[in-house]
Chains A and B, each alone.
Chain A
């Protein structure tokens, strides 16, 4: 029973959110809550806050009224799959870059002083500013016959968000072994690389898993936002913009790609959780004598 408890609580949380939504819609003021001219809570009209049932039934209907149009859930699922692929690519690049940076910073103290401020600063650059730059640079790149694709720009931007938690988390993890363990490796007269592989990396796993989870969330957000700013078709990001314009006549439709984005996030988080299960033995704590 204890195992299913977190799942149960999770489901309960989602149900509660839905209940609050419907309750506010039923009992909230029609014009929303306005404080000093600012609307702090939305109107309760069907346009602004469609019923949950509207959102879900809309998923089962065709995308447009045109004949042969696929069901909305199908289109969303395809878009989500597309975005997930890009997010995964961005996550992998981000994790590799983040790990390499962390190792570099761990190895050379000067590298840490030189790099860490920039790593932190890098995250203050808004994605919207970054996207056209990356796309612009990408268009200059050719590898043989193939050309830089827009999805690659999106993946690069996703990785830009993903590398940050990994580099910071991994650095903390790599520096987490106790002095006694580091000295033990020294008495074994092994070099930096062996110490890294046998001590620092295994010791960093608990820190790394947290970082990987954050990186996964960041990669998903980065992908969705970059799809919008670069104008890449096929993913949920672009779909959100397209469907939003339809909201006046079809209030349930814009919610479909949002569910798609949530789904991507769940899959990404689930993947990292599986990774955590596989690395279970690195998460044991030594009981101090």
Chain B
């Protein structure tokens, strides 16, 4: 378990080989849901995906492409019908039991009867960390997400963006080497969203955790990721994996959103999503192009 070491560099080793030591390795994963008597929906088919330690990978695709399902397989909230999912070389189940990952959902999912500090320390409390250790860690995390002054507030006293920051702090509580995020900024307005993205880049750089990030938004995926996995629906498949090289965390600020490299990558992802180059010319910023 790593602490908050800012000296860890963000640039990951990107490996496409199946060597062990990957944070996440999904091999031939298929997920079939039985919806009604005899009726089945193939949510995922033949998914292969590797995520290196410290790497930021986004899953993007239209609704129903199974990106959330894939995340749930990695989190062991669902089990694959066939194929394997391993996290840090263990089964997904073992990784969950060992608390190898932290997770954040679209809804902040804070417990309304707990204060901000109480919510962040929930996982520490559940796993019987000492009071002193808890207090220290919570103070660290509050500082990390910029909510030090709000420790004693209750979730209903916070804005949506603040709630989501608390949720992210909670997911980082046990210094996981892997973060799973399912559209964590999906319910936020565009302004807040961009600010949160900036913060997430910084937080990832400071913690050195690998991230699997599910999103609907092309610019978001491009801005955050080392690699963008473009998925297609019915059945959910990986259509293309697009490497994005936009530099280290220090280089990723608001300026990047205006940079040419950013637009090129956005176009590449968009073309992969739609299967052909777009005719509309210059891609518009901040637009969900699904």
Residues of A within 8 A of B (CB): 178, 180-181, 183-184, 186-190, 194, 198-199, 202, 205, 281-282, 284-289
Contact = CB atoms under 8 A, between A and B. Distances in A.
15 contacts: A178-B107, A178-B109, A180-B107, A184-B103, A186-B77, A187-B76, A188-B122, A188-B123, A188-B127, A189-B99, A202-B113, A282-B113, A285-B112, A286-B111, A289-B163
A183 B77 contact: yes
B135 to A, nearest CB: 19
A289 B96 contact: no
A202 B107 CA distance: 19
B164 A289 contact: yes
A98 B154 CA distance: 31
A181 B107 CA distance: 10
Contacts of B26: none
Nearest to B112: A286
A199, A282, A287 interface centre (most CB from chain B within 10 Å): A287
A282 B105 CA distance: 23
Given A178-B107, A202-B113, 18 more contacts: A180-B105, A183-B105, A187-B103, A189-B97, A190-B126, A194-B126, A199-B111, A282-B113, A284-B112, A284-B154, A284-B155, A284-B156, A286-B108, A286-B111, A287-B156, A287-B158, A289-B107, A289-B161
A281 B154 contact: yes
Contacts, number: 70
Nearest to B93: A189
A194 B123 CA distance: 12
Contacts of B187: 288-289
Interface string B191-205: 000000000000000
Contact of B126 (A188, A202, A284, A285): A188
A67 to B, nearest CB: 60
Interface string B244-271: 0000000000000000000000000000
Contact of B77 (A187, A205, A285, A286): A187
Given A188-B126, A289-B187, A281 B113 contact: yes
A181 B99 CA distance: 17
A40 to B, nearest CB: 50
B62 interface: no
8 shortest interchain CB distances as A-B pairs? A289-B160, A286-B112, A180-B109, A289-B187, A282-B113, A284-B112, A189-B97, A287-B156
B191 to A, nearest CB: 14
A285 B187 CA distance: 18
B75 A285 contact: no
A19 to B, nearest CB: 42
A189, A190, A198, A199 interface centre (most CB from chain B within 10 Å): A189
A193 B154 CA distance: 25
A287 B187 CA distance: 12
B193 to A, nearest CB: 11
Contacts of A205: 113
Contacts of A181: 109, 111
Contacts of B188: 289
Contacts of B160: 287-289
A288 B167 CA distance: 13
B105 A284 contact: no
B23 interface: no
B110 interface: yes
Given A187-B96, A189-B96, A189-B97, A202 B111 contact: yes
B70 to A, nearest CB: 15
A205 B113 CA distance: 10
Contacts of B154: 281, 284
A15 B163 CA distance: 48
A188 B109 contact: no
B156 A286 contact: yes
A42 B187 CA distance: 62
A282 B188 CA distance: 26
B155 A287 contact: yes
A190 B97 CA distance: 8
B249 to A, nearest CB: 26
Contacts of A180: 105, 107, 109
A9 to B, nearest CB: 28
B75 A286 contact: no
Contacts of B164: 289
Contacts of B113: 202, 205, 281-282, 284
